[in-house]
Amino acid sequence: MMDQSLAGKLAVVTGGTRSIGRAVVERFLARGASVIGTGTKPDGDVPKGCRYAQLQLENPQSVESFCRVIAGERPHILVNNGGTSSFATIEDVDLADVERIHEMHVVAPLRLCQAAIPGMKRHGWGRIVNITAISGIWGRPTRTNYGSAKAALDGLTANLAAEVGAHGILANCVAPGFIDTDVLKKNYTEAQRKAMADSVPVKRLGTAADIADMVVFLAGPENGYATAQNIVVDGGFGRVR
């Protein structure tokens, strides 16, 4: 069986303070990796043993300053997870918000990949996992801004995978469905979340752990051949009617 240890590896996880990102950080630490987790506050709360860095993904200066950290630290693993959603009908989509969401979910992840890849090439090994969303694959009302950003992140990842595969670097996306995290609790009532759960073939909302387990598989040595994929983890919601 493949050794699943990440000892000697450094992982960067954006949005490592809460929900999906935090669960990813915990799993990396449990496997012996060193981890840098980011959040938006000057002093964010990350799991014990994780180094913390402040990062505001829609702020190019903040991204550039964190890119310098990445270029210096040369992580083996990069998980682009941080950020928020934004919902509005097409008539109400605000262009400033389009810029903010696309900076957060497309431009910043691209810059962080650019900063990380030279180090990964030096290691001759790298894993990039970008968190997309089912809204980037299947249409639902109010998701034009957010969904287009997540679709772009998928396209970015597939094309990136084509460039870096020869260097031992695998790049994939994970597309969560309805995950019962802070974002979902903020945007939906309990009755709405129950209706969502009922619409999913496995009859429950996903958990941060459901997503983190897939991320950690794709980011680890046990993944040797999956690249350029956008793996949907949604309890079957998108494929079953």
Ligand X SMILES: NC(=O)c1ccc[n+]([C@@H]2O[C@H](COP(=O)([O-])OP(=O)(O)OC[C@H]3O[C@@H](n4cnc5c(N)ncnc54)[C@H](OP(=O)(O)O)[C@@H]3O)[C@@H](O)[C@H]2O)c1
Which one of the spans 8-16, 68-76, 117-125, 216-224 is the region binding ligand X (CB under 6 A)?
8-16
How many Å apart are CA 151 and CA 147, to the nearest integer?
6
User: Does the footprint of ligand X cover residue 202 (CB under 6 A)?
Assistant: no
Residues 6+ apart with CB under 8 A from 184: 178, 193, 205
Q: Which is nearer to ligand X, 17 or 145 (CB)?
A: 17
Helix residue spans in 39-81 (DSSP H): 60-73
**Residue count, binding to ligand X (CB under 6 A):** 31
- When asked if residue 181 is in the footprint of ligand X (CB under 6 A), the reply is yes
User: What is the dihedral sign for C-alpha 199, 205, 210, 215?
Assistant: positive
Residue 134's contacts (CB-CB under 8 Å, 6 or more residues apart) are 175, 176, 177, 232, 234, 237, 238
| N- to C-terminal Cα separation, the chain | 37
Q: What are 111's two structure tokens?
A: 């810059």
Interaction between residue 136 and ligand X (CB under 6 A): no
**Known catalytic residue at 225:** no
Q: Are 236 and 201 in contact (CB under 8 A)?
A: yes
Binding test (CB under 6 A) with ligand X, winner from 6, 9, 10, 15: 15
CB of 93 to ligand X, least distance (A): 17
Q: Among residues 57, 78, 113, 215, which is the contact residue for ligand X, using CB under 6 A? A: 57
Give 79 or 164: the residue with its C-beta nearer to ligand X.
79
Q: Does 82 bind ligand X (CB under 6 A)?
A: yes
Q: Which residue is catalytic, options 52, 146, 188, 225?
A: 146
Give the footprint of ligand X on this chain (CB under 6 A): 14-21, 39-41, 44, 55-58, 81-85, 104, 131, 133, 176, 178-179, 181-184
Report the catalytic residues: 146
